[in-house]
Amino acid sequence: MPYIICLVHILEGWIDVQQLEDYLNFINYLLWVFTPLIVLILPYFTIFLLYLTIIFLHIYKRKNVLKEAYSHNLWDGARKTVATVWDGHAAVWHGYEVHGIEKIPEKGPALIIFYHGAIPIDYYYFMARIFIHTGRTCRVVADHFVFKIPGFSLLLDVFCALHGPREKCVEVLKSGHLLAISPGGVREALLSDETYSIIWGDRKGFAQVAIDAKVPIIPMFTQNIREGFRSLGGTNKECSSRTDR
C-alpha cells in the first residue's frame, strides 16, 4: 500500500495535478456504479443488433423483387411495396395466416364476402397477401364516407376501391376481377361484439351481384378479428384469417 501511495504522489508531481488520489477514487466509484448497468445493457444491445441485422437482410432480400416490380408498372411497384410492408406487419405483429388461399382463383372473377371487424385490418392483410402471392389486386366496396377522408383518394384509387352501385360491382366482376364486400359495413363494425353477431339487416344485394355476374361466392372469416381493437358498441377486439397473438 505505501508503494501505491508513493506512486500516486510521484504522478501528482509529474503531471502537476493536486489531489490525484481523489480523482482516481471518483473514477473507481463511477466504474463501480456503471459496470452493472453496462453488464445489463449489453445483452439487450446484442439482441437489438441481431434484429437490426435481420431487418437489413429482409430489406436486401426484397430489393430485387421490388426493383423488378417497378420495371413493369409504376403502380404495381407501389402496390408491391405497400403490400410487403403490410404483410410484414401482419406476420410480426399478429402472426397472421391465411388458410384456404388456394380457393382464390389465379385468374377469373370471384366475390369475397367478409365479416367487418371494428377496423377491417384483416382485409388489408388479406389484400396484401393475395397481391404478393398471385399478383392480383382485390377490389373492395367501401363506405361513402371513406372517400371523403382527406388524403385517402389516391390510396383508394391505387387499390381500386369503389362505393358501388350494384351495376358497377357486376361490371367489375364481369371484367374478370376479384371483388370483396362486407355486407355489414360500418354498422357491423360499431354494433357487433365479441360474439361476432352478423348485422346485415336486409343487405342481400351482394347475392344478386353474384347471380348477375355468374361468379362464385367465397366467404372469408378472420379468427380473433375482435381481439385487437375496441369499438363504441362494446368490448370489441380485433385482429386477423388467422391471427393468434
Summarize pLDDT for 200-225 with one digit per residue, the tens: 988 889 999 999 999 999 999 998 88
Residue 160 phi, psi (nearest 5):
60, 45
163 is annotated as an active-site residue: no
Percent of the chain scoring above 70 in pLDDT: 62
What Rg value do the Cα atoms of the chain yield, rounded? 29
* Other CB atoms within 10 A of residue 74 CB: 11
Q: For residue 165, is the peptide bond before it cis, meaning its omega torsion is within 30 degrees of 0? A: yes
Q: What is the pLDDT of residue 117?
A: 87
pLDDT reading at 114 higher than 70: yes
- Euclidean distance between CA atoms 145 and 186, whole angstroms: 10
Report the half-sphere exposure of 98 (CA within 13 A, side-chain side).
21
pTM, two decimal places? 0.65
CATH number, span 99-228: 3.40.50
**Mean pLDDT, rounded, for 185-198:** 88
Average pLDDT over residues 185-200: 88
| CB-facing half-sphere around the CA of 84: CA atoms within 13 A | 18
The catalytically annotated residue of 116, 133, 144, 163 is 116
- CA dist 13 to 8, 9, 156, 229, Å? 9, 6, 77, 70
- pLDDT score, position 234: 47
Q: Give the residue extent of every domain in the chain.
A: 1-60, 99-228
